[in-house]
């Protein structure tokens, strides 16, 4: 069972060990914390490390899926809030058409994420 876990999640574990080591070394040598956070986010997004961490967390029985949902739901709130802020700036600068485009794109992205989530649970991958 242990070997199967490492085969399935070896890449994610290696990425997170590397990221954690890099963060520790960077902070030990006194690199600015803003640079460390920015580079961690960039590396995490491009290597899909955050999705891997969510998958590893969701694999914990009973509590794992609940923890993932607690962190995933506020992302929708943040996306929606960003849309409102972009809209407020667009209205203030007189870009009504940009406001419409930004709101349509925000709603389309949120609907796409929701449809993907629903389809991911309806269509089994096995």
Tell me how far apart the alpha carbons of residues 71 and 78 are, in angstroms, rounded to a whole number: 11
Find the mean pLDDT for residues 46-61.
82
Q: Considering the entire predicted model, what is its pTM?
A: 0.52
Judge if 97 and 54 occupy the same domain: no
- Whether 68 and 57 have beta carbons less than 8 Å apart is answered as yes
Does the pLDDT of residue 1 top 60, yes or no?
Answer: no
**Structure confidence at residue 43 (pLDDT):** 85
Judge if 118 and 85 occupy the same domain: yes
Judge if 86 and 50 occupy the same domain: no
Judge if 69 and 106 occupy the same domain: yes
Band of residue 21 on the pLDDT scale cut at 50, 70, 90: very high
Judge if 43 and 74 occupy the same domain: no
58-110 pLDDT tens trace = 888 888 888 888 887 787 788 778 877 877 777 788 777 767 777 788 788 88
Residue 94 is given by DSSP the state T
Q: Which residues contact 54 (CB under 8 A, 6 or more apart)?
A: 68, 71, 72
Indicate if the alpha-carbon torsion angle 56, 60, 66, 67 is positive or negative. Answer: negative
Residue 63 is given by DSSP the state T
Band of residue 25 on the pLDDT scale cut at 50, 70, 90: very high
Query: What is the share, in percent, of the chain residues with pLDDT greater than 70?
Result: 94
Band of residue 125 on the pLDDT scale cut at 50, 70, 90: low
Q: From the CB of residue 102, how many other CB atoms can be counted at a distance below 10 Å?
A: 19
Q: Which range of residues forms the domain containing residue 33?
A: 1-59
- Whether 40 and 19 have beta carbons less than 8 Å apart is answered as yes
């Amino acid at each position: 069972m242990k070997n199967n876990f490492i085969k399935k999640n070896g890449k994610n574990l290696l990425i997170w060990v590397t990221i954690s080591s890099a963060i520790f070394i960077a902070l030990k040598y006194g690199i600015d914390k803003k640079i460390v956070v920015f580079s961690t986010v960039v590396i995490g997004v491009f290597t899909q490390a955050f999705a891997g961490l969510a998958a590893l967390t969701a694999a914990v029985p009973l509590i794992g899926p609940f923890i993932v949902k607690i962190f995933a739901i506020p992302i929708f709130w943040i996306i929606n809030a960003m849309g409102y802020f972009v809209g407020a700036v667009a209205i203030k600068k007189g870009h009504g058409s940009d406001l419409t485009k930004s709101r349509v794109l925000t709603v389309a992205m949120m609907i796409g994420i929701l449809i993907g989530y629903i389809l991911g649970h309806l269509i089994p991958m096995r």
